[in-house]
């Protein structure tokens, strides 16, 4: 199934049914009085998060969602029937915003979470409501209210604890294949990864976390180079970023320090909050460098980078160093979870 993480839709809630002016008319009851019922409520439109859905592809083709109107009121004190609501099922992690006003509507981050997108109109009142001691035969009634209409943007942000950041062919997909059961495509050409991939990593029997692998980011992405920033939203929920560095890139003229700085700047252009997340450096493909030269290589890189960040040495292909990195990530996530305050029960 094609991965779609953004869609624009229209939602139109139903109009409330009109009230009615009616009078009781039966044999031997010449002055039965008013008996006009109310109109029914118009259908509303809701969104609900469903963990069995992982793409917004359905909403690329079904863009308009319209609920039915409420039924008109009737005589004999009969109220109109309310219209059925419409429920749109979306992937867990979907963020919904109003396009015209920019209003934030919902962030459906948990399975079964529900949000009202467009409220149906209230039904009108029949003349039954207007009778009084001084108005024995009211002919007043009200019309049903119009339902809410909105133009909405649906944006999927995958739920992951750890996000992989790096240039194309840095070895992100190979790394996620090495530590999890995920099997993203791996090849020796740029932009092998064309859509986000999620992998569940098990540190041991009862401890695990989720890793997100997104297409590589290159310099100039803010101006549309490569795949641009279109997938960086999937890192916004992560607690930790791993900056994967290819120690021996295919291009012999490549400057890995300059490329690393450029990538971080692209991250900052996209979202300062994402730029400020904890970020570890992971030196990949170290099996290609003699063991006695590795420490000097890393020290030189850190000095040129100007930032002494926490770093790890791995080979995603052979698995060297990956297990130590997994346990370090697990420990970091558990420490963050322990620091997060819990809401006391009422």
Mean pLDDT confidence for 45-49: 95
- The pLDDT tens digits for 278-310 are 888 888 888 888 888 888 888 888 888 777 778
Measured in whole angstroms, how far is the alpha carbon of residue 70 from the centre of its chain? Answer: 32
- The pLDDT tens digits for 184-198 are 556 554 555 556 677
Under 8 Å between Cβ of 192 and 226 = no
At 228 the pLDDT is: 47
pLDDT at 225 over 80: no
At 40 the pLDDT is: 94
At 185 the pLDDT is: 56
At 220 the pLDDT is: 54
Give the mean pLDDT of the chain: 82
Mean pLDDT confidence for 116-126: 94
At 188 the pLDDT is: 53
Under 8 Å between Cβ of 89 and 77 = no
- CB under 8 A, 24+ apart: contacts of 322-331: 322/175, 322/178, 322/179, 325/179, 325/282, 326/179, 326/201, 326/203, 327/203, 329/161, 329/162, 329/201, 329/209, 329/240, 329/242, 330/203, 330/207, 330/209
- CB under 8 A, 24+ apart: contacts of 295-300: 297/247
Mean pLDDT confidence for 136-140: 87
Share of the chain above pLDDT 70, in %: 87
* Closest alpha carbon to 213 in 154, 173, 155, 271: 173
- Residue span(s) of the chain under CATH 2.70.210.12 come to 6-156
> What's the burial of 230, exposed, middle or buried (CB within 10 Å: 0-12/13-18/19+)?
middle
- The pLDDT tens digits for 13-37 are 999 999 999 888 888 877 778 888 9
Pairing assessment for the beta strands 114-118 and 45-50 based on DSSP bridges: antiparallel
pLDDT at 1 over 50: no
Does the pTM surpass 0.75? The reply is: no
Domain 162-339: CATH superfamily, name plus number: P-loop containing nucleotide triphosphate hydrolases (3.40.50.300)
Under 8 Å between Cβ of 248 and 169 = no
Share of the chain above pLDDT 90, in %: 27
What confidence category does residue 311 fall into, taking pLDDT thresholds of 50, 70 and 90? confident
Mean pLDDT confidence for 140-162: 90
C-alpha distances (whole Å) from 26 to each of 29, 34, 75, 76, 128 are 5, 12, 12, 11, 17
Under 8 Å between Cβ of 217 and 165 = yes
The phi and psi torsions of 182 (rounded to 5 degrees) equal -65, 145
- Residue span(s) of the chain under CATH 3.40.50.300 come to 162-339
At 341 the pLDDT is: 55
CATH architecture of structural domain 6-156 = Distorted Sandwich (2.70)
At 65 the pLDDT is: 95
Mean pLDDT confidence for 257-277: 82
pLDDT at 56 over 90: no
């Amino acid at each position: 199934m094609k991965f779609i993480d953004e869609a624009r839709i229209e939602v139109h809630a139903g109009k409330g049914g009109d009230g009615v002016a009616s009078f009781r008319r039966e044999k031997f009851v010449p002055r039965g009085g008013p008996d006009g019922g109310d109109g029914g409520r118009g259908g509303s439109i809701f969104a609900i998060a469903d963990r069995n859905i992982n793409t917004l592809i359905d909403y690329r083709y079904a863009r308009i969602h319209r609920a039915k109107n409420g039924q008109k009121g009737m005589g004999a004190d009969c109220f109109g029937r309310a219209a059925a609501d419409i429920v749109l099922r979306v992937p867990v992690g979907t963020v919904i915003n109003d396009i015209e006003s920019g209003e934030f509507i919902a962030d459906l981050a948990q399975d079964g979470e529900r949000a009202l997108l467009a409220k149906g109109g209230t039904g009108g009142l029949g003349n039954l409501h207007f009778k009084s001691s001084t108005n024995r035969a009211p002919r007043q009634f009200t019309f049903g209210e119009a339902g809410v209409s909105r133009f909405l943007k649906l944006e999927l942000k995958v739920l992951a604890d750890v996000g992989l950041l790096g240039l194309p062919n840095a070895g992100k997909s190979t790394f996620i294949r090495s530590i999890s059961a995920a099997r993203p495509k791996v090849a020796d050409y740029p932009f092998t990864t064309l859509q986000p991939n999620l992998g569940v990593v098990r540190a041991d029997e009862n401890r695990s976390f989720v890793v997100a692998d997104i297409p590589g980011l290159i310099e100039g992405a803010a101006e549309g180079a490569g795949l641009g920033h279109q997938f960086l939203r999937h890192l916004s929920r992560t607690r930790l970023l791993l900056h994967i560095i290819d120690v021996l890139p295919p291009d012999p003229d490549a400057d890995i320090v300059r490329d690393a700085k450029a990538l971080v700047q692209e991250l900052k252009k996209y979202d300062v909050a994402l730029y400020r997340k904890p970020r570890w450096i992971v030196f990949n493909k170290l099996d290609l460098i003699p063991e006695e030269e590795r420490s000097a290589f890393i020290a030189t890189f850190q000095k040129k980078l100007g930032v002494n960040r926490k770093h790890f040495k791995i080979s995603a292909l052979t698995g060297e160093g990956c297990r130590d990195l997994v346990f370090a990530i697990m420990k970091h996530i558990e420490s963050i979870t322990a620091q997060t305050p819990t809401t006391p029960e009422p």
